[in-house]
Structure 1
Amino acid sequence: MDLILSAIEILMRWDVALALLAGSIGGVLIGAIPGVGPAVAIAILLPATFSMDPIVGLTVLLGIYGSSMYGGAIPAILINTPGTAVNALTTYDGYPMTARGEPRRALSLAYSASFFGGVFSVICLILFAPVLAKVAPMFGSREIFLAALLGLLLVVVAHRGQALIAGALACFGIFLNTIGMEPVKYTQRYTFGQDFLGGGINLIVVVLGLFAISQAFVLLTDEDEKIRLTRLRGGMFQGLRELSRHPRVASVSAGFGVLMGMIPGVGEFTAQFMSYTYAQKTSKRPQDFGRGSSEGLIAAETANNAVPAAAMVPLLALGIPGEALTAMMLSVFYVHNVVPGPGLFQNDMDFVVALYLALLILNVLVLIFLLFATRSLIQVVRIPNRFLGVCILTLSFVGVYSLRNSATDCVMAAAFGLVGYVLKRLSLPAVPIILGMVLGGIMEVKLRAAMARVKTPLDFIDRPVAFILFSIIILVLVMHTVRILRDRKELKEAEWQTKTSSTNFGGLMWRRKNSFLKDRGKQVRARHAKLLRRLTDLF
């Protein structure tokens, strides 16, 4: 009880309360604007949070992180365009409700499900905090190295169909982290005699380039769309009553969100997929899913809003971020010499509880705000893309320059913005680069510390936690390999059956497939040529 009172005392400070209010409402606004998203907002705000107290800066970022998914449901439901990437599944059942004249019901249900998922997650983790305080000290240098390696591996494996490129990008991020001064013997690495590389490549410069500046390029090169909004009538409290009629779906979906959030590299998409699949398989009306099912909407929104609080567990307990947003938050800790990990739970447990209580209060503030302000809020969907692009580009360069008053940083940010733009146009992930930079630094430091006490390779896993983590790594690699081989076998069998089919229909389908692949190749080459022309026009 004393711990909770101490955490409440931290949150009662006027600057913390103001940061929580600004972050929660600002996150809703950011989420409601298609094409922006929390990663862009957090990247832009990072330089400003370095001058704040750790609790104030983290409260702002947590507010944006936790509330953006609420706002992202608004365009997903009203115009079939997710405000944030994790609201894509919301369009499956949210927009069909709008199409049949029930936008108010869909929005209200999404808000209520999001609130339940967020509150459920925070309560679970507040109760789980004492256990974390006991488990965290069991992690030494070798355990944290293995946990970071597992997190990086899970990030790569999670990009199904793009695991190879995700692994290459993660390795590129690790390489970027090695540039500059070596941390033990203080020798120069990969600087090639260039003074501006002596201090290394700043993580915030890369974050702003890959997420904010690249998104500004996308918005500036895309055409504005004409949007027609549905007019809302009546109160917004209907969803609270409707949610109470589906307690099983809501509880299980929130549980999936908590479990998936605590695993580095997994996050909202896996939680949503599992909860949506469970809801459909156990529903009395599975045929309604994708056509405006209230259970489907509850499953999607509850799961994705249960993840943010759970994602803070590996960050706070081990100092290992599981995604790009928590990796950005980790930099706030480092700037203020607050080291996440076992020591944080032992010495600053009130700080940890204060962060979880901030997430709890955040959900209450956002729900109240949305229930009364949705009719005015939906107008932000109409903001032109190019105006947003100019604003994001300007704020990004201001933030980069404010880091070290360096024009070189601005040039590097623009270069990474170009890289991020190409990755977005080719539908390739940028997150592995950031996690490679963050986790690569952790792995290097912890491996050096662990090797001083290790004489043989088996000594590295001679402790229970280290052995468990090593076993999980091997299991993940084996399962991923088996899945690749199974997918290839199924594909070959399908192609062989089509080729050897004795019917004219089979041969016709095989020829059509070959023709489709050739046309697809032409489309890809045309898209690449168009991309090169756009890049030429930009620069």
Structure 2
Amino acid sequence: METLLLGLNEVGTFNVLLAIIIGALIGVTIGSIPGLEPAGVIAILLPLSFSMEPLAGVSLLLGVYGGAWYGGAIPAILMNTPGTPVAVLTTYDGYPMTQRGDGKKALSIAYTSSFVGGIISVSSLVLLAPMLSQVARLFGSAEFAMLAALGMIFVVLAHRKHVVEAAMMLGLGIFLGTIGIDRSFSTQVFTFGQEWLLNGIPLVPAVIGLFAMSQAFVLLSMKGNDSKRTELKGDGMFSGLFILLKHKMTVARSATLGVLMGLLPGVGEFGSQFFSYTLAQKFSKTPEKFGDGAPEGLIASETSNNAVTASVMIPLLAFGIPADALMAMLLAVFMVHNYIPGPTLFAERPEFISGLYISLFLMNIVVFLYLSVATKWIVNLTRIRGRFIGAFILVLGFIGSYSQNYQFSDALIALGFAVFGYILRRNDIPAVPIILGLVLGPVFLTRFKQAMGVASGDLSIFVSRPISLTLLSLIILSIAIYLWSTFRHKKHS
């Protein structure tokens, strides 16, 4: 109870409440505009969050992240165009409902499903993160090295159709993470005598370039958005609650899958949506209606992707291992304020952890209430021209990358990553593994060298310790399953 009161005191400040509201509203706006991804805008806001109080900075970014998944359902349902990449399955049943005049009902189902999934996700974070942080106390260098390796393997294997490309991008990220001064031996690594490389490749300009500015280039190359006005007709915005009560098992199953998938690095919303939608159709009494306006399909899609938003933080808070690009950005915010994720954070900063939980609950409430009353105006955002948004993002990207350290070289690095990211997007090559390689690569290399030092160079340290052996076995098993499924697919094709 004392910790809860401390958390309420943290959240109750004007700065934190304002950050929650602004972050949530920005997130909804981003999700409502097709072609504008939340990762890019979060990257632009990252330097700003460094100058804020720790809880306010994290709440701002999480508000954008969570709000975008809510807002992404609007164009998916009304225009058959996903507002965010994870809203693809929402179009399957949402848009057919709009075509038959049930657009308002479809939005109500989507909002309510997202809210329920989000609340369950935050509840799982409250329950599981402290428990796993106690497990983290048993981790040494060998365990953290294997955990980082497992995270990188999962990220690569999650890109099923682009595993080779993802592995190459991960390798590039790991290489970029080695640039700078090797603290173990105080030697320069791949700096080529350039002073601006002594501190390595900065994370913020890399993230801004890969996600924000590259997306700006894509938007600048697109034709203007000439969408027609969509009229909302049908039941009230709170009718979705009664529909969810009729499909309680679909909600429970989808939320559970979302939470579990959030724990696995690189799987996230896409994996949870796919499995939830498939199982919902399998257990439905009317599977033939899926893809033709089935409320169950919409419930499964929206519940599962929002159930990931908080559970994906569990590996970060418990072990200090980011599961995706956004968690890598949050890790940067933590480190700037000297908040080290792991067991010590729960012991030394209980008021911050409690405040984080409360802010996530409030974020879901703010977004749900805002969408319930303001959707008829938000719909107009779907008609904003992409080129205008692209030019605006490009300017903000340059400002954000320069303002962190006030070095022109950071802006040039962001521009270089932007051009590279644009090429990746045009060739459908994933960029997320680069960032996770840049973050997890140094963690793996540092912990690996520490383990080797403790064991006097004996590799058996990774199999002689139970937790390390378990993680190594999961790595081998994951690779074996992928190779077996690939071989089987080629054999039958």
Name the TM tier (shorter chain): over 0.9
Tell me by how many angstroms 1:349 deviates: 3.2
In the aligned structure 1, how far is the partner of 2:250 from the partner of 2:346?
A: 33
In the aligned structure 2, how far is the partner of 1:468 from the partner of 1:350?
A: 33
Alpha carbons 1:309, 1:356 under 8 Å: kept: no
Alpha carbons 2:205, 2:410 under 8 Å: kept: yes
In the aligned structure 1, how far is the partner of 2:395 from the partner of 2:359?
A: 30
Residue 88 of structure 1 aligns to a residue in which SS?
Answer: helix
In the aligned structure 1, how far is the partner of 2:460 from the partner of 2:48?
A: 46
Tell me by how many angstroms 1:111 deviates: 0.2
Match of 1:495 in 2: none
Tell me by how many angstroms 1:309 deviates: 0.5
In the aligned structure 2, how far is the partner of 1:3 from the partner of 1:463?
A: 35
Question: Residue 310 of structure 2 aligns to which amino acid in structure 1?
Answer: A
Q: For each residue in 1:454-473, what CA deviation from the matched residue of structure 2 results, as whole angstroms up to 9, or x when unmatched?
A: 14211223222111111111
The correspondence for 1:481, drawn from 468, 475, 483, is 483
In the aligned structure 2, how far is the partner of 1:220 from the partner of 1:161?
A: 28
- Report the CA distance shift for 1:151/1:133 in structure 2 as closer, same or farther (over 3 A): closer
1:22 aligns with 2:22: yes
Match of 1:381 in 2: 382
In the aligned structure 2, how far is the partner of 1:99 from the partner of 1:317?
A: 45
Tell me by how many angstroms 1:353 deviates: 2.7
In the aligned structure 2, how far is the partner of 1:460 from the partner of 1:235?
A: 58
Tell me by how many angstroms 1:419 deviates: 0.5
Alpha carbons 2:130, 2:318 under 8 Å: kept: no
Match of 2:331 in 1: 330
Alpha carbons 2:133, 2:317 under 8 Å: kept: no
Question: Residue 489 of structure 1 aligns to which amino acid in structure 2?
Answer: K
1:462 aligns with 2:464: yes
Residue 75 of structure 1 aligns to a residue in which SS?
Answer: helix
In the aligned structure 1, how far is the partner of 2:107 from the partner of 2:408?
A: 45
Match of 1:5 in 2: 5
Alpha carbons 1:103, 1:230 under 8 Å: kept: no
Structure 1 residue ranges, 4+ long, deviating more than 6 angstroms after superposition: none
Alpha carbons 2:94, 2:293 under 8 Å: kept: yes
Q: For each residue in 1:352-405, what CA deviation from the matched residue of structure 2 results, as whole angstroms up to 9, or x when unmatched?
A: 232122111111111110100000111111111110011000000011111222
Q: For each residue in 1:228-255, what CA deviation from the matched residue of structure 2 results, as whole angstroms up to 9, or x when unmatched?
A: 2321145211111111111000011000
Name whichever of 479-488 and 418-427 sits farther off.
479-488
Alpha carbons 2:57, 2:333 under 8 Å: kept: yes
Tell me by how many angstroms 1:478 deviates: 0.9
Match of 2:111 in 1: 111
Match of 1:136 in 2: 136
Match of 1:121 in 2: 121
Residue 307 of structure 2 aligns to a residue in which SS?
Answer: helix
In the aligned structure 2, how far is the partner of 1:459 from the partner of 1:220?
A: 52
Counting only pairs closer than 5 Å after superposition, residues 285-300 of structure 1 correspond to structure 2 as 285-300=286-301
Alpha carbons 1:132, 1:345 under 8 Å: kept: no
Q: For each residue in 1:3-42, what CA deviation from the matched residue of structure 2 results, as whole angstroms up to 9, or x when unmatched?
A: 2222122111111111111111111111111111210110
Tell me by how many angstroms 1:452 deviates: 2.0
Tell me by how many angstroms 1:101 deviates: 1.1
Match of 1:518 in 2: none
In the aligned structure 2, how far is the partner of 1:450 from the partner of 1:349?
A: 30
Tell me by how many angstroms 1:445 deviates: 1.9
Structure 1 gap ranges (5+): 492-539
Alpha carbons 2:451, 2:461 under 8 Å: kept: no
Q: Over the residues paired in the alignment, what is the CA RMSD in angstroms?
A: 1.2
Match of 1:270 in 2: 271
1:198 aligns with 2:212: no
Alpha carbons 2:157, 2:482 under 8 Å: kept: yes
In the aligned structure 2, how far is the partner of 1:128 from the partner of 1:341?
A: 13
1:311 aligns with 2:288: no
Counting only pairs closer than 5 Å after superposition, residues 19-418 of structure 1 correspond to structure 2 as 19-233=19-233, 235-418=236-419
Alpha carbons 2:328, 2:436 under 8 Å: kept: yes
In the aligned structure 2, how far is the partner of 1:216 from the partner of 1:131?
A: 41
Counting only pairs closer than 5 Å after superposition, residues 480-519 of structure 1 correspond to structure 2 as 480-491=482-493
Question: Residue 365 of structure 2 aligns to which amino acid in structure 1?
Answer: V
Question: Residue 23 of structure 2 aligns to which amino acid in structure 1?
Answer: G
Residue 222 of structure 1 aligns to a residue in which SS?
Answer: coil
In the aligned structure 2, how far is the partner of 1:442 from the partner of 1:342?
A: 17
In the aligned structure 2, how far is the partner of 1:229 from the partner of 1:487?
A: 45
- Say how many residue pairs are matched: 491
Q: For each residue in 1:114-151, what CA deviation from the matched residue of structure 2 results, as whole angstroms up to 9, or x when unmatched?
A: 00100111122213344224222122221111111000
Structure 2 gap ranges (5+): none
Alpha carbons 1:261, 1:268 under 8 Å: kept: yes
Alpha carbons 2:452, 2:459 under 8 Å: kept: no
In the aligned structure 2, how far is the partner of 1:220 from the partner of 1:440?
A: 33
Match of 1:499 in 2: none
User: Percent identity of the aligned residues?
Assistant: 49
Question: Residue 173 of structure 2 aligns to which amino acid in structure 1?
Answer: G
Q: For each residue in 1:276-304, what CA deviation from the matched residue of structure 2 results, as whole angstroms up to 9, or x when unmatched?
A: 11100000000000110000000000000
Alpha carbons 1:79, 1:229 under 8 Å: kept: no
TM-score (norm 1): 0.89
Report which of the two structures shows the higher radius of gyration computed on alpha carbons: 1
In the aligned structure 2, how far is the partner of 1:450 from the partner of 1:7?
A: 37
Question: Residue 241 of structure 2 aligns to which amino acid in structure 1?
Answer: L
In the aligned structure 1, how far is the partner of 2:93 from the partner of 2:277?
A: 11
In the aligned structure 1, how far is the partner of 2:187 from the partner of 2:359?
A: 43
Larger relative contact order (Cα-Cα within 8 Å, sequence gap ≥ 6): 2
